[in-house]
Amino acid sequence: MRALFAVLRDADPSIKTAAAATFARIPPDDLADFLRVSDVNPVEIDTIASRTDDVIVLERVVQHRNVSDATLAALARTVTGTAQEALIVNQARILQNPSLIDALFENPELTADSRRILNELKEEFFEKEAKRREAPRGGEEKPVEPEPMIEEPQGAVEDAEEWGDEPPAETSPSAAEPEVPRGSEELFIRISRMTVPERVKLALTGGREERRFLIGDVSRIVGFAVLRARGLTITEVEGFCSMRHLENDIFTRIATTRGWIRRPLIALALVRNPKVPLTISLPLIKRLQMRELRNIAKDRNLPEAVRVMARKIYLQRRR
């Protein structure tokens, strides 16, 4: 692969043309696998980025730690799909190079949701910070209180001998809205007094306890930063899937991350969480085991659509 990259820059036009034809025949999966290597240099990454339009490959390009600002700026103006999302949620890189925001705004394929996130980033990290520097020192801003959780109405499972009238499954403590442990009051108070940029930095560099608080932050920019933290573990992600106070965007981000959603326990946690949107939970039901399907079909804490789907798949598999 590296030999081919070198030939692509050959001075002889005929050699460059032949090399470009060879590169065009490389399967996207091979390019994506090559980008898994940590020592890929910025020139090699740029070569791939400028010669492919495969979304999966471009997503790997955007996420690679060695990608240059110039490559990201070029992609920002044209990239779509999951590669565009990966660039937008990379707050650390955007903070280092704010011109990426303007480059993304030039992208004709920028989605409305992505534009809203970029506007939030621009406002919180640059416009508000500029106003703070200009304004005279005064009282601290009062932290925004999260909106109260709205309970979802319960449905009823159709009567059948298969399911009986057993009581609903008990909800695990992690599924409920988290309480602040007695030993964590100081941390909670300290976080509540932070600005959004400070909370993002803490989300990226803090520990497990900080991430547990910040994943439910009222600013989804902070929540996205938690999901990009280097120390984040699969166990933590599984715990996030059971939380009922999180924004739908967080669940969507988890469900669209291939390395996470392939984990059976994460898929199960999302299905068992009544606050997860049906567009996420329903497609995951078919991945569950028979025992899990039966328990979900009887759990009256879950939306009726989830229980009906679980029961339907359970009965189909029994035949």
The DSSP code for 152 is P
**Residues 113-129, mean pLDDT to the nearest whole number:** 77
The pLDDT, as a whole number, for residue 171 is 44
Which long-range contacts (C-beta less than 8 Å, at least 24 apart) are formed by 95-102?
95/125, 95/197, 95/200, 96/69, 97/69, 97/72, 97/73, 98/125, 98/126, 99/73, 100/69, 100/72, 100/73, 100/76
Residue range 158-190, pLDDT digits in tens: 444 455 544 444 444 444 444 444 456 788 788
CA end-to-end span of the chain: 51
The 10 Å Cβ neighbour count of residue 161 is 5
- pLDDT tens for residues 31-65? 999 998 778 999 999 999 999 999 889 989 998 88
Domain boundaries, the chain: 2-130, 174-232, 245-319
Confidence category of residue 157, pLDDT binned at 50, 70, 90: very low
User: Within a 10 A sphere around the Cβ of 99, how many other Cβ atoms?
Assistant: 12
Digit-coded pLDDT (tens) for 97-113: 889 999 999 999 998 88
pLDDT at 318: 86
Task: Name the band, by pLDDT with cuts 50, 70 and 90, for residue 251.
Answer: very high
Q: What tens digit of pLDDT does each residue of 69-95 get?
A: 999 999 999 999 888 888 887 777 887
pLDDT > 50? residue 303: yes
The overall average pLDDT reported for the chain is: 82
pLDDT of residue 85: 84
pLDDT band at 136 (very low <50, low <70, confident <90, very high): low
Q: Which of 21-30, 185-194, 285-294 has the lowest mean pLDDT?
A: 185-194
Q: Return the pLDDT at 158.
A: 41
The CA dihedral of 289, 294, 296, 297, to the nearest 10 degrees, is 140
Token look-up 């043309």 returns 17
**pLDDT by residue (tens digit) across 3-15?**
998 889 888 989 9
Max CA pair span of the chain: 79
